Chain A
Amino acid sequence: MIGVHSRTPALILSLAAVSVVAACSSAATTADAGPPRAGGTLTLAVGSNPDCLDPQQTGTNASLNVGRQLVDSLTDQDPDTGEIKPWLATSWESNADSTSFTFHLRPGVTFSDGTPLDAAAVKTSFDGVKALGAKSLLGLGYLASYRSATVVDPQTVRFDFTTPSAQFLQATSTMSLGILAPAAYQKTPDQRCQGDGLIGSGPFVFGSFKQNSEIVITKRKGYNWGSSLWKHQGEAYLDTVDYKIVPEPGVRTGSLLSGQLSATTEVQPVDEAQFQGNGFSEQTRPNPGIVFNLHANVTKGVLTDERVRQAVSKGINRQEVTDTVLSPNYKPATSILASTTPLHADLSQELAYDPAGATRLLDEDGWVPGPDGIRVKNGQRLSASVLFSSVFNQSQSVLELIQQQLRKIGFDLRIELHTNAEVLQLQQAGNYEFLWYNVTRADPDILRNNFSTKAGNRSKLAPGNPLDAALDQQAASIDPAVRKPAAEQAQRLIVEQAYAIPVFELTQVIAVGPDAHAVGFEASSRLQLFDTWVSGS
């Protein structure tokens, strides 16, 4: 906010390359910090007030970064490979069409109120998420075709679905389907939001929540059922995590540099250089799921023309977007899915900057440059609007750069900023040309959610198209041999037909002070603080 810092791109590029590689695991932030030490407080800044702390209800990072520490999940997902690994469930099996899943629970697990975490508690928790309806923004999608949970025996629980739900296995690893104690459902969802009855079995327990100010969580004594992916077993290292809610990016940066914080999330691209090579470090990880993209409504205006959409994709210089508006920590999209999503297919060839190819496509299609440089055909201008809301700070700048880039091929992109409410309303009404958004999910099934004609269908495609078939196929099997080709086919169709035009991968950038170590990300790029520790007093 206060000072704009110059940087030397070559040096930072190489630093970033190192940090991106390191970021894929929850590696220690400082190599020479010595062995991890138990005790102490991590003071961590977050940029916005998490209105609701219940991980089953919310969808914002500010909130999920807290909720992840309070609840355990049936499974965990390896951030490096995307594989699903044991956590509360030691093993599981599913039927051939992925409509039934059986989990065998680890014995001896208790909630922080002392009650046992058994099959009945798991059932209560999943039924509870389903009952939340639209109040569970993420659970709603994960349990869309949930039929029931059955207690087979005290340590075995079975879930049945009305349609094939391969994505459910990954969903069980998220905090959104983390297990809350039966006592939690004695409280209303609104009460749980404020921390009242927010009882999990996780390595930390809820302490206090002061709106717009801070959230405190403390170590769960006697915790001994950590995920098989974690670096150590037993209790968490930290005694306390103190989340400070600091809306001003410049204040987050200054407070960390002046030693008033241990670490901060949401570092702005312009501030990143201040944490490179001075005892401070950065942890970065691209969000898995759908990258930031221009999602085309193929029933509107010039976007009905496939060649126009393809030309727009070729006319975007993704490298320039990340180099100039963002930072080297952000990567140009190489598919509609981010590189951290399991079964991501590398389509960087198809997404290369090719202005000559774009011009050729438009020329062949009969679009001729008009007096103001924007092409026209039969009196129609080569123009489309893009709707966006300012969830991500840099969206406006990114879109303005894309606007300039597309102008060079004679395409006029009109940028329209709306509130979240308006965007949702316009999107529901189908009243848009391009939508600008991203979605975080560490499973390729998120494509079905947004592209299938039986689900979100944001491109407004006609039913029975080849994309639907590929999306259904990946939803029906957890076997990678079946799922991988189907997921690849879906990504290829979306990119080649330019149903949506991928631009860049949203990246979490965390700056860490000299005393904090092993601040890690889980597979959905949310914070996992179990192995985190602090040195010094």
Chain B
Amino acid sequence: MRSYALRRVLQAVVVLWAAFTLSFVILYLLPGDAVLAKLGGGDTATALTPEQIAQARAEYGLDDPWFVQYGKRLAGALHADFGRSIATGDSATHMVLTALPPTLAVAGLGLVLALLFGGGAALAGTYTRAKWLGNLLLSLPPLGISLPVFWVGLVLVQIFSFQLRVLPALGNNGPQSLILPAITLALPTGAVIGQVLAKSLRTQLAEPYIETVRAKGAGRGRVHFGHALRNAAIPVLTMVGVVAGQLLAGSVVTETVFSRDGVGRVTTAAVNAQDIPVVQAVIVLAAFFFVVINLAVDLIYPLLDPRVRCDPAVRVRKELVHG
């Protein structure tokens, strides 16, 4: 177990370094740079001399050769200092950390709602004896997946904010402002969870061990929620690791539609402005979350399934292949 943990930490470090390096390479190779983006923006562009542009680029160290820039940035990143944003002048780490809580709040609530929507539809759809109801419930996840997040957000704003006027359309103020964005995020995410859980439940219910449980006299509810669900939950857990990333990506859209501050907005702006310090801070943070969530998921497997206990990584993969 200890060598396993060590291996996972090493892997994580490599992933973080790769994310950092790749983002630098891509942004460095793009035509133009953050200073040009800043000076070229707006409708007020004064005619600049090449000297003035050179001076501005020197001020941000953008005239250094690539390996010097890369080295400086990497050294800073090791101390969680990604440098100052060229667009806003604020520290990139500070910008991303301030933007993080509102994004986590929406993503967290979105994940809870997604589990409720998706889990609810899958459980009820497979449990019910009314065939039409089962079909209806199980057709919800594919429908949810096919709806674009952007469109769902605008429709929700239109109905609940502009027409019924029960929820605010904009801003980060108060728990009320969390509801619409969280629902918007939860629909496609919940749909994925629902699909995986429904399929997994049906597979488990067809397994021979269910017969044994029934023969022992367990009721329908106990079979469904006690035995089948516990085994069916493993692929869903794997999916949660994947959709956590989806929730972060979805925040780019929901934060724009709902005019919220957050990592999504910071990312869009930074990418548009080729603001390397901020983009790198976001990417490393996102990679960090991915690593942590997947590690957490891996460590939860053994709690659900004792067979995974000896070597989680290997066994889980087998489980997934066979399941």
Q: What residues make up the interface of A, taking CB atoms closer than 8 Å to B?
A: 1-2, 45, 49, 51-52, 58-61, 133-135, 137-138, 140-141, 188-191, 193-194, 210-214, 244-248, 250-251, 254-255, 257-260, 287, 389, 391-392, 419-425, 428, 437-441, 449-450, 455-458, 506
How close is B74's CB to chain A, nearest CB, in angstroms?
A: 23
Nearest-CB residue, chain B, relative to A1: B154
Residue on B with the closest CB to A246?
B259
Chain B 23-67 interface residues, beta-carbon cutoff 8 Å to A: 31-34, 36-37, 39-48, 50, 52-53, 55-56, 59
Query: Is B305 interfacial (CB 8 A cutoff)?
Result: no
Q: How far is the CA of A251 from the CA of B163 in the complex (A)?
A: 12
Asked if B106 is at the interface of the complex by the 8 Å CB criterion, the answer is: no
**Distance in angstroms between the alpha carbons of A506 and B154 in the assembled complex:** 28
Q: Which of B136-161 contact A (CB under 8 A)?
A: 154, 157-158, 161
| Known contacts A190-B90, A251-B157, A391-B42: A213-B172 contact under CB 8 Å | yes
- Give 26 A-B contacts (CB < 8 Å), ordered by A residue: A49-B269, A59-B42, A59-B45, A60-B41, A134-B56, A135-B56, A140-B48, A194-B90, A210-B261, A211-B90, A211-B265, A212-B266, A213-B260, A244-B259, A245-B259, A246-B170, A246-B259, A254-B161, A259-B165, A420-B36, A420-B37, A420-B40, A421-B32, A421-B34, A425-B31, A437-B43
Query: Are A440 and B40 CB-contacts (below 8 A) given A211-B266, A212-B266, A251-B170?
Result: no
For residue A239, give the distance in angstroms from its CB to the closest CB of chain B.
Answer: 18
Whether A254 lies near B44 (C-beta < 8 A) is no
B99 at the interface (CB under 8 A from A): yes
Cβ-neighbour of B154 out of A52, A250, A392 (below 8 A): A250
Contacts of B43 in A (CB 8 A): 59, 61, 287, 391-392, 437-440, 506
Report the bound CA distance from A427 to B55 in whole Å.
18
CA distance A244 to B177 in the complex (A): 14
Does B36 contact A51, Cβ atoms closer than 8 Å? no
**A-side contacts of B40, CB under 8 Å:** 389, 419-421, 423-424
Determine which residue in B41, B84, B90, B273 has the highest number of CB atoms from chain A within 10 A of its CB, and name it: B41
Q: A194-B90, A210-B261 in contact; A59/B44 too (CB < 8 A)?
A: yes
Which residues of chain B have a CB within 8 Å of any CB of chain A? Answer: 31-34, 36-37, 39-48, 50, 52-53, 55-56, 59, 84, 87-90, 95, 98-99, 154, 157-158, 161-163, 165, 168-172, 255-262, 265-266, 269, 272-274
Minimum CB distance partner of B56 in chain A: A134
Q: How many A-B residue pairs have CB under 8 A?
A: 189
CA distance A2 to B269 in the complex (A): 24
Which residues does chain B contribute within 8 Å of A45, judged by CB atoms? Answer: 170
Contact between A134 and B259 (Cβ–Cβ < 8 Å)? no
Q: Do A255 and B89 touch (CB < 8 A)?
A: no
Q: Chain A residues with Cβ under 8 A from B258's Cβ?
A: 251
Residue pair A52, B89 in contact (C-beta under 8 Å): yes
Asked if B44 contacts A441 (CB within 8 A), the reply is yes
From A60, A188, A245, A449, give the contact of B46 (CB < 8 A).
A449
Are B154 and A449 closer than 8 Å at their CB atoms?
A: no
| Listed residue (A59, A133, A188) with the most chain B CB atoms within 10 angstroms of its CB | A59
Contacts of A141 in B (CB 8 A): 46-47
Considering residues B40, B56, B272, which has the most beta carbons from chain A within 10 angstroms of its beta carbon? B40
Bound-state CA distance A397–B256 (Å) is 23
The answer to whether A211 touches B98, judged by C-beta atoms less than 8 angstroms apart, is yes
CB <8 Å contact, B84 and A190: yes
- Taking a contact as CB atoms closer than 8 A, the residue among B39, B47, B260 that contacts A212 in the complex is B260
Given contacts A133-B56, A420-B37, A424-B45, 10 further A-B contacts (CB under 8 A): A49-B265, A51-B273, A59-B44, A141-B46, A190-B89, A213-B171, A251-B157, A258-B161, A420-B36, A422-B31
Lowest 9 CB-CB distances: which A-B pairs, in order? A456-B47, A421-B32, A190-B89, A424-B40, A420-B40, A59-B44, A141-B46, A421-B36, A421-B37
B158 and A2: CB pair below 8 A? yes
> Across the interface, do A421 and B260 meet the contact criterion of CB distance under 8 Å?
no
Contacts of B89 in A (CB 8 A): 51-52, 188-191, 193-194
- Measured between beta carbons, the chain A residues less than 8 angstroms from B45 are 59, 137, 424, 437, 439
Q: Is the CB of A247 within 8 A of B98?
A: no
**Nearest CB of chain B from residue A389's CB, rounded to whole Å:** 7
A213–B309 Cα distance when bound, in Å, is 47
Is A247's CB under 8 angstroms from B256's CB? yes
- Contact at B32–A211, with CB atoms within 8 Å? no
Report the minimal beta-carbon distance from B29 to chain A, rounded to whole angstroms: 13
CA gap between A353 and B36 in the complex, in Å: 37
Residues of chain A contacted by B257 (CB below 8 angstroms): 248, 251
User: A245 to chain B: which residues have CB within 8 Å?
Assistant: 259
Flag if A137 contacts B47 (CB, 8 Å). Answer: no
Other-chain contact of B265, A188, A212, A457 (Cβ < 8 Å): A212
A458 to B55 CA separation, bound complex (whole angstroms): 21
Complex CA gap A191/B91 in Å reads 10
Provide the residues of chain A in CB contact with B39, threshold 8 Å: 134, 137, 424
Q: How far is the CA of A141 from the CA of B59 in the complex (A)?
A: 20
Which residues of B sit under 8 angstroms from A211, Cβ to Cβ?
88, 90, 95, 98-99, 261, 265-266
Check B169 against A254 for contact (C-beta < 8 Å).
yes
Which residues of the partner chain A approach B170 to less than 8 Å between Cβ atoms? 45, 244, 246, 251, 255, 260
Given known A135-B56, A212-B260, contact A425–B169 (CB-CB < 8 A): no
Q: How far is A193 from B87 in the complex, measured between Cα atoms in Å?
A: 10
- A254→B99 contact, CB < 8 A: no
CB contacts (< 8 Å) of B50 on chain A: these are: 428
Task: Please tell me if the beta carbons of B41 and A140 are within 8 angstroms of each other in the complex.
Answer: no
Q: How far is the CB of A163 from chain B (nearest CB, A)?
A: 15
Least CB distance, B257 to chain A, in whole angstroms: 6
- With contact pairs A140-B52, A420-B40, A424-B39 given, residues A449 and B47 touching in the complex (Cβ less than 8 Å): yes
Whole-angstrom distance between the alpha carbons of A391 and B43 in the complex?
7
Give CA–CA (A135, B106) in the complex, Å: 36
B37 close to A419 (CB less than 8 A)? yes
Using Cβ atoms and an 8 Å threshold, which residues of chain A touch B265?
49, 211-212, 247
* Residue from A59, A189, A260 within 8 A of B168 (CB atoms): A260
CB distance from B264 to the nearest CB of A (A): 9
- Asked if B162 contacts A258 (CB within 8 A), the reply is yes
Q: Which residue of B lies closest to A140 (CB)?
A: B46
Contact B32 A422 (CB under 8 A): yes
Interface centre among B59, B256, B259, B262 (most CB of A within 10 A): B259
C-alpha spacing A441/B46, complex, angstroms: 10
With A212-B255, A421-B31, A422-B32 as known contacts, state yes or no: A244 contacts B171, CB within 8 Å.
yes
For B32, the chain A residues whose CB sits under 8 A away are 419-422, 424-425
Q: Are A210 and B41 in contact (CB under 8 A)?
A: no
